[in-house]
Structures are given as structure tokens and as C-alpha cells.
Amino acid sequence: MFARKQVNAAHKKPVAATRSLLGKPSPMSMLRAPYQMPTLPYRRPQQGRDLWIWDDVLPNPLEVRARCLAKSDWTYGFPYRDEGWPGMRAIPALLPEELAPIEAWVKKQTGCQRLWQQPTATGMTLNHNCVQLVGADEADARPHTDSRTNCRFAAVIYLTPELPPDCGTAFYRQRLAGAKLGGNFVPPPHANLQAALGTRFVPPGSFVEDLRVDYRFNRLVMYRADLIHSAIRYVGKTNETKRMAAVFFWHGQ
Ligand SMILES: [Fe+2]
């Protein structure tokens, strides 16, 4: 069961319209016949099986945050460049000695003996142990899954103090015709949600929140990467007030 303090119950509101997946609908997509979204399987997420929460995860969160804020090697995404990801990011977030206890915990929680990152294709970067800074107006919720090719588990550590709880992470399921609810994860052989649905673009309101984890400074949230998820919302106009998160991706066995 989810601790009430940690996870609020379902909110079941349609996701804000325009950029539900990775971009705006193209004019061509609006000319096509109505899109029938394939129905995915559903498994209600359970803490300890599908998602995991560790509060006060870092012994030195303010030090980590200050070190990240002082970075000068940020890569910029939307709206600064034509990218599918928002805000700015830099690697690494944690030092090896800060990451080690987290990976020990991940192994313990998941039963995996070994964690690793898959080599990426030439020119691609896996944003493991990456700090991301995203502000208001730079993005909204974008339900997606993380690539099965890249990872089995994904995690985020929230690193901006005193952000509203609804800047956390939400998990979604499909909203089908007739207000029926569909699935919440992408099964093999599909690598991600886009592949499973056969399109980057889905109609507004195609996903509803199933449950959400509140943003809380120095909270780690780990989840099965094939669950449909998203940051709920972003706030802040300056680097000091934007939503900072360190993100991690692991294969595990
Ligand atoms: Fe993700």
C-alpha cells in the first residue's frame, strides 16, 4: 500500500491537451481518419513491485544541489533548441561515492545482482545520472515510457527545496472511447509507448492520471521504466527556483 503521506490517490483528470507525447500534432495528422489507440495491458502499480520511494535519500542534498547549480556545461533542450526534451541538463549529477549506496539499495529492492547501462548508438547519450532543470512554460506533462532498450528501471531524485507537491511524478493509463480506461504499461516487443501506439501523436485527453507521487526535496522515486509516466508540472523562472531532478536509468538482472 502507498503511504498516504507519500502518494496521493488517483486524480483521474485528462492530461492537458496539446503535447501529450513528444510534440505538437502535425497538420497531416489532423487530416487522417480518427485514431484508434491500441489498448495496452494494465497492472495497478504497487509500491515494492512496480515503484519504490526513498525519502531523505542523500545525506548531502544541498551540497549536491549547489554543485549542480554551479555547472557551466549545460545542454539545452526545448524551448531553447528544437529538441523533444525540455529545459537543460548536465552529467553527472552524483559522484561515484554518492551513487554507490543508491545502487546498492536498487539491487536490494529489485533483487537484481547486477545493474548496468546499455551502450547507446553513435551520437546518442543515455542521460543516466543526469541533472535536469526545467522551469515554468518550458514543458507540461508528457506521458511516455522510457525505452526498454535503454533501461528496465528509471529513477528521479527531487532536488529543489520547497516546490509544490504537484511538481512530482504521475503514472497514467489510457482513456479509451466511451470513457473506458485502458492500460498503463508497454509490453514487449515494443521499446516504448510511441512504438506500441504506432504514433508520436495522440488526441488530447488520451491518458488519465492513475496515481501520483508528490514532489518532496531529497525524495527518490524509482519505477519500472515501461510504466506510462511523466513529471506532472514545472515551475520557476530562474535556475534557483526551477524544478531540479537527477535522473537515473538502469538495466538490471
Ligand atoms: Fe521518463
Ligand 1 centroid–CA 67 distance in Å is 24
Closest CA to 132 of 171, 82, 74, 84: 74
CA-nearest of 141, 127, 19, 18 to 75 is 127
Number of H helices, E strands in the chain: 4, 12
Distance 182 CA to ligand 1 centre (A): 20
Assess contact for 8 and 214: CB atoms under 8 A: yes
Whole-number Å distance, alpha carbon 170 to ligand 1 midpoint, is 10
C-alpha cell at 44: 495497478
Query: How confident is the chain (253 residues) per 10-residue block, as mean pLDDT?
Result: 38 39 39 73 97 98 98 96 94 98 98 92 85 96 92 97 97 93 96 92 91 98 98 97 98 96
Q: Domains in the chain, start-ordered, CATH in brackets?
A: 7-24+38-117+126-252 (2.60.120.620)
Residue 40 one-letter amino acid: L
List the grid coordinates of 114.
547486477
Ligand 1 centroid to Cα of residue 144, in Å, is 6
Tell how far the Cα of 94 is from the centroid of ligand 1, in angstroms: 19
Rounded Cα distance between 162 and 233, Å, is 15
pLDDT at 34: 56
What spacing in Å lies between the alpha carbon of 32 and ligand 1's midpoint?
Answer: 29
Q: What is the pTM of this model?
A: 0.86
